[in-house]
Amino acid sequence: MKNFILLNLTFLCLFLQPQAKAQSAIDEFMSYYKGYDDALQLSFPGFVARIGIDIAAKEEPSLASLSNRISSLRFLIIDQHVEGLTSDVKFLKKDLRREGFETLFMVRDDGDEVHLFLKEDSKNRDQLILLIQDNEDNNLLLFQLKGRFNEDDLNNLKDHMVVSTR
């Protein structure tokens, strides 16, 4: 009986230990690169992001439907050559897919790449990741938008998106 109680207590201790929350791929990537001299990372809560979207919606009305659905905005800009950035971005894209992100679209033009990823969450905390990479200059713009988006919002964005070639 002693062994049975000890065994059960051991299992209880294992399951009741505080579990370390694993960082997502996007969090790890941004945490790693935000310390570089030529990198800029900014995060905005939903109400600040909505103000910015409302201003941008005056020029691009398709953004207006997103305004009241945003809960946070975060972006990272790396504007100089950083060794290893290209391979890290490749790993980031793989990790995003592994975490359940879907590629909504991808455009390549003269070595430049634009990717839009979406991860839908049952708790209405969807994520849009826009990744713009200039391979010639090794520059990167990464936007993470969290909120509650519906299919109409995404279709509206897609319908109004203009893709131009040089």
Q: What is the pLDDT of residues 50-83, one digit of tens each?
A: 888 788 778 877 677 777 778 888 989 988 777 8
- Domain region containing 93: 23-160
Q: If you average pLDDT over every residue of the chain, what do you get?
A: 77
Does 166 fall in a domain? Answer: no
Q: What is the pLDDT of residues 82-132, one digit of tens each?
A: 788 888 889 999 999 999 999 888 888 887 888 989 888 776 678 889 898
Element (H, E) at 109: strand 102-109
Does 42 fall in a domain? Answer: yes
Token duo for residue 116: 């839009």
Does 140 fall in a domain? Answer: yes
Closest to 145 in 3D by CA, of 96, 73, 77: 73
Residue 41, C-beta contacts closer than 8 angstroms, at least 6 positions apart: 30, 33, 34, 74, 75, 76, 77
Given this model, what pLDDT does residue 147 score? 85
Does 7 fall in a domain? Answer: no
For the chain, the domain total comes to 1
Does 14 fall in a domain? Answer: no
pTM metric for this prediction: 0.73
Does 9 fall in a domain? Answer: no
Given this model, what pLDDT does residue 15 score? 46
Q: Where is average pLDDT lowest: 8-12, 53-57, 86-90, 147-151?
A: 8-12
Q: What is the pLDDT of residues 19-50, one digit of tens each?
A: 445 678 999 999 998 888 888 898 888 888 88
